[in-house]
Amino acid sequence: TRLGLWITRAEDRIGLGHVPDWVPDDFGLTSGAPVPEVQRISFDRDGESAEFSYTWFDPAVVRYVARLK
């Protein structure tokens, strides 16, 4: 609200990635291991890209769910 930025939509693309080099010890998988990777780009009310993120996850431990409202 303070920035006057409103995210109006987001797009997730899921594919095969690899655990990054900076993986925390408790992640359970080693650097370079193949894992699902989510790339998210969010857009503001003018249709301009406002943020971008990567997410890696271990599908044996968690399930990816996206709810974009």
42 belongs to a structural domain: yes
In Å, how far are 45, 48, 52 from 4, measured between CA atoms? 10, 14, 18
Average pLDDT for 32-48: 95
Residue 64 in any domain: the answer is no
For the record, the structure tokens of 14 come out as 């899921």
Return the pLDDT at 52: 96
Q: What is the mean pLDDT of residues 32-40?
A: 96
Per-residue pLDDT at 1 exceeds 90 = no
pTM attached to this predicted model: 0.79
Range(s) of the domain holding residue 33? 7-56
Q: Please count the structural domains in the chain.
A: 1
